[in-house]
Amino acid sequence: MKFMHLSDLHLGKRVNEFSMIEDQEYILKQILEIADREAVEVVLISGDVYDKPIPPVEAVRLLDQFLVDLGKRHLPVFLISGNHDSVQRLSFGNRLLAEGGLYIAPEYDGMLKPISLQDEYGAIDVFMLPFVKPAHVRRFHPDEEIESYTDAVRVALSAATAGAEGTPVESLRRILLSHQFVTGASRSDSEEVSVGGLDNVDAQAYAGFDYVALGHIHGPQDIHFDGEEAEGGCPKIRYCGTPLKYSFSEANHEKSVTLVEVKEKGDVEVRAIPLTPLHDMRQIRGTYLEVTSREFYRKFDQNDYIQVTLTDEEDIPDAVGKLRIIYPNLMKMNYDNKRTRESQEVDGAEQVEQKSPLQLFEELYVLQNNQGMTEEQKKASQALIETIWEDER
């Protein structure tokens, strides 16, 4: 059976104040084309469907359209909530929607019952564990010792029951959707994982599954399972990543969807299909003259989401406004020069009182620009200071 594994759509997200909704609409269409081309049979969406617990209307519309488009293709869809979603809001109507093949994980209630699918090799049980914290799991398993996220996931999964009756355990294949930070995963800037790093789950907690479709971490990556081998081999554990770049730390990612082909027990094949965004995310650097030369910008799409790092020693007046003429989707601009590289300490009050206004101003200038004033600038400043003082008398 052929699964498509998606996660972290973050519908409704704004990146550096730019709405991503058009980019998201574009990429969801591309995902549908891939589903058609690859003859995908089941879609898994592993959390962070929306960017916010109360998503904007256009994000709700977009998800609705995407689910309708999948429904038209008669593809069963499994969807769990991530830490950005509100599990109660996202799972509204889930018992009714399940009738139509749209399975949305309800709020965690201490149980984990699978939906059973059938293919030529027998039954495949699909389990859905929405994003959980230790407190969620503790509430339903008060007798278990749950101190960490690893404990929470382990205990939650230990309550997993078998779905289809009659399929012998040794040939039963088990798929899990989960949205957690698994130990060892490499992060990027857009995840908003809680700081402190106490939220990680050891991969061993996922023993006993054939494929674990993870969400939460935004770069696509396989997770190495170093636990004791369960019967039927190690699980394949993978983050499929976001369909779009959501921070400049992801500028060099290749975004993709993950296709998972599950054959007989022990035979799971994973493939990434690259996605091409409406606007790429790109970091460029150079002097103002360099980055505004045609020779420079004709090598890529000027409509990309751009971060410019200017290396000029002197600030360019209204640089953002000017750069936006060439790069309309300029998201960020910063300087990398002597001024931004070095920081200096400010003197205490006593030393300040002994200095002349010009000396103080000169120090401020050096602090900001990491170079002294020219003689001309000194003269102009001195004249200005005298004029101001004259007025005050």
Q: How many CB atoms lie within 10 A of CB 145?
A: 9
Please say which residue, 8 or 151, places its beta carbon nearer to Mn ion: 8
Residue ranges in contact with Mn ion by CB under 5 A: 8, 48
CA pair distance 347, 219, nearest whole angstrom: 45
Please say which residue, 84 or 138, places its beta carbon nearer to Mn ion: 84
Tokens found for residue 153: 């996931």
Please say which residue, 247 or 370, places its beta carbon nearer to Mn ion: 247
Please say which residue, 9 or 32, places its beta carbon nearer to Mn ion: 9
CA pair distance 225, 220, nearest whole angstrom: 16
Residue showing the smallest CB distance to Mn ion in the complex: 48
Please say which residue, 251 or 333, places its beta carbon nearer to Mn ion: 251
Burial of 323 (0-12, 13-18, 19+ CB in 10 A): buried
Q: Whole-number minimum distance, CB 190 to Mn ion, in Å?
A: 7
Q: Whole-number minimum distance, CB 187 to Mn ion, in Å?
A: 11
Q: Distance from CA of residue 81 to its chain's centroid?
A: 14
Longest dimension (CA), the chain: 98
Question: Which residues have C-beta within 8 Å of that of residue 161, sequence separation ≥ 6?
Answer: 111, 112, 113, 114
Burial of 344 (0-12, 13-18, 19+ CB in 10 A): exposed
Q: Whole-number minimum distance, CB 223 to Mn ion, in Å?
A: 16
Q: Whole-number minimum distance, CB 7 to Mn ion, in Å?
A: 7
Q: Which residue has 């995310």 as its token pair?
A: 281
Please say which residue, 192 or 314, places its beta carbon nearer to Mn ion: 192
Q: How many CB atoms lie within 10 A of CB 367?
A: 14
- Assess contact for 270 and 258: CB atoms under 8 A: yes
In degrees, rounded to 5, the angle at the alpha carbon of residue 76 between the alpha carbons of residues 70 and 80 is 95
Please say which residue, 48 or 202, places its beta carbon nearer to Mn ion: 48
Distances (CA, A) of 304 to 14, 243, 250: 15, 16, 14
Distances (CA, A) of 64 to 71, 278, 320: 10, 21, 37
Q: Whole-number minimum distance, CB 206 to Mn ion, in Å?
A: 19
CA pair distance 300, 291, nearest whole angstrom: 12
β partners of residue 307:
283, 332
Please say which residue, 134 or 243, places its beta carbon nearer to Mn ion: 243
Q: Whole-number minimum distance, CB 103 to Mn ion, in Å?
A: 20
- Assess contact for 86 and 72: CB atoms under 8 A: no
Please say which residue, 129 or 268, places its beta carbon nearer to Mn ion: 129
Q: Whole-number minimum distance, CB 18 to Mn ion, in Å?
A: 18
Q: Whole-number minimum distance, CB 292 to Mn ion, in Å?
A: 35
Q: Whole-number minimum distance, CB 134 to Mn ion, in Å?
A: 20
Strand order in the sheet with 236-239: 115-119, 122-129, 173-179, 211-215, 236-239, 221-223
CA pair distance 136, 151, nearest whole angstrom: 12
Please say which residue, 48 or 125, places its beta carbon nearer to Mn ion: 48
Q: Whole-number minimum distance, CB 56 to Mn ion, in Å?
A: 17
